[in-house]
Amino acid sequence: METHKRAKCSKSLDPDEIEEVLMDEESDEELEDTDEVVEPRVQSSSSSEDEEDAEETEVEFRAKRAGDSSNFLNFTGPPNGVDQSAASDINAESSPFSIFILFFREVFQIILTETNRYFHQYMLSRPTGSTSAQPPDITIEEMYTFFGLVIQMGHDPRHSLKDYWSRDELYYTPFYSNVMARDRFFHILRFLHFENNETLRTMTTQTTTDFGKYERFLTH
């Protein structure tokens, strides 16, 4: 760039002045400083050579120490790894619900027992002669249906629970009323319980106070 500028300026100089500039040693040093030659970098090896080096690389494993132990489990059961005696009614044609309930049958039974218990405790606390329009005891099938509806509601959010049974054209979905009556659903929801209230009153620890109603599930 400096040389180009000097070429333009030389047009307005006298011949003697031009000679003086060209013969000046300091100007030559300046030109040498500005004219830097950038040499291209040459790769020392090609990609194919790198691949060959990677293939030849050997991985050295640490020698096994005396204290090392393998976490291999020795299975002692049928060849297929399934204990048929634990679920004799389960086979290849079983429904997903049948598999699911193997793990949660006892949990649902606890909820059913405590929900019915709480309903009877509530009725005993009311004035003599009080009755309920709902059947006194919830069945295990109704409890399964109740939680199935709760899961379905998570995929179909609405403004309020009553909207699921609404006959309004904007909300009407026959599925919910066909599966369970609205009043029965709200009855189960009202008395849903996980622990006996009478037992909780005898416990005084801080843990029981905060999580007593769910402690059976946390330690199940």
Q: How confident is the model at residue 206 (pLDDT cuts 50, 70, 90)?
A: very low
**Cα distance between residue 164 and residue 166, in whole Å:** 6
Q: Evaluate if residue 166 carries a pLDDT over 80.
A: yes
What pLDDT, on the 0 to 100 scale, is given for residue 10? 46
Two structure tokens written together for 213: 């109603």
* pLDDT tens track for 20-75: 666 665 555 555 554 555 555 555 555 565 555 555 555 555 566 666 666 666 66
User: What average pLDDT does the segment 92-121 reach?
Assistant: 88
What pLDDT, on the 0 to 100 scale, is given for residue 91? 78
Numbers of helices and strands, H then E, in the chain: 11, 0
**Torsions phi, psi for 19 (to 5 deg):** -65, -40
Two structure tokens written together for 21: 């500039």
Q: Evaluate if residue 158 carries a pLDDT over 90.
A: yes
* pTM for the predicted model, two decimal places: 0.55
Distant-in-sequence, close-in-space partners of 101: CB < 8 Å, separation ≥ 6: 108, 144
User: What average pLDDT does the segment 100-121 reach?
Assistant: 90
